[in-house]
Structure 1
Amino acid sequence: MQQTEFRTLVYQYFFFGWLFRDVTCGTVFERAAAWRYNREQARWLPTYMWRWLGWGLAFYGLGGVLEGLLDAPTLSMLFYVPGALSVPVNAVIAAAWIGLKALPGPL
């Protein structure tokens, strides 16, 4: 059994693109099969949303601790920025999840 590299595991923990297939190439039947596969894989998107929410809140909290208790606003910026970036990432994940659940498949 082949061991997966740590950086690959971290990437797969935070980013979900590896779960899905491309629906823009292939025959009509292949595109329809890829769409069905992607709709099945959409069940994992809420898990990614929770991960990004948890890490975002943790980073934002660490930024607050550094700014409030240690009076280090410059250092706290290193934690506020990743915490704030988790909001648009969650918006993209939510849009992908809603789109895969609500939109009809390719023709």
Structure 2
Amino acid sequence: MATTPTSEHGADGALPFLTLWYRFLFFDWLFADLGAARNVYERHAALQHNRAMCRYFPTYLRRWSVLTLFGFGMGSLFERWMQASLWPAWFFTCACLTMSGMVVMLVAWAFLANARMQ
């Protein structure tokens, strides 16, 4: 389905800020859905596309590692120097969630990258 400039893009053809922010942090828009393939040829094409797009995982891993380090750093800052209790818990929880996301990315990257060697 082709997108028109009025549906997703702005009047000047640029993406809205929230869409850019989403694409900066999340990688699902890069990959094709294998479940939506209607036959074996479309499934193979989608799989080949996903294998080609796995080269972007290191970029997203770097971005998410910055978020993880920021969360742990801010949690430590609020816990040690500001003697707060709720804010460090929030930052540590966010850091743990981003670390979990990094594990998911690493597993997906390992499966897609190693599938090329077969």
Q: TM-score, normalised by structure 1?
A: 0.89
Q: Point out 4+ residue stretches in structure 1 off by more than 4 angstroms.
A: none
User: Counterpart of 1:23?
Assistant: 34
Partner Cα separation in structure 2 for residue 74 and residue 23 of structure 1: 42
Q: Which of the residues 54, 71, 76 maps onto 2:83?
A: 71
C-alpha distance in structure 1 between counterparts of 2:90 and 2:21, whole Å: 20
- TM normalised by structure 2 equals 0.82
Higher relative contact order (CA 8 A, sep 6+): 1
Displacement of 1:81: 1.1
Q: What CA distance in whole angstroms lies between the structure 2 residues aligned with 1:17 and 1:61? A: 27
Amino acid in structure 1 at the alignment position of 2:26: F
Q: CA deviation at 1:55?
A: 0.8
Q: Which runs of 5+ in 1 are unaligned?
A: none
How far the C-alpha of 1:103 sits from its partner, in A, is: 3.2
2:57 matched residue in structure 1: 45
SS of residue paired to 2:34: coil
Count residues in correspondence. 104
Listed as ranges, the matches of 1:1-107 within 5 Å are: 1-24=12-35, 25-103=37-115
Give % identity.
33
RMSD: 1.3
**What is the CA-CA distance between 1:80 and the residue it aligns to?**
1.2
| Deviation by residue 1:47-85 (Cα, 9 ceiling, x = unmatched) | 111111111111110110111001012122221111111
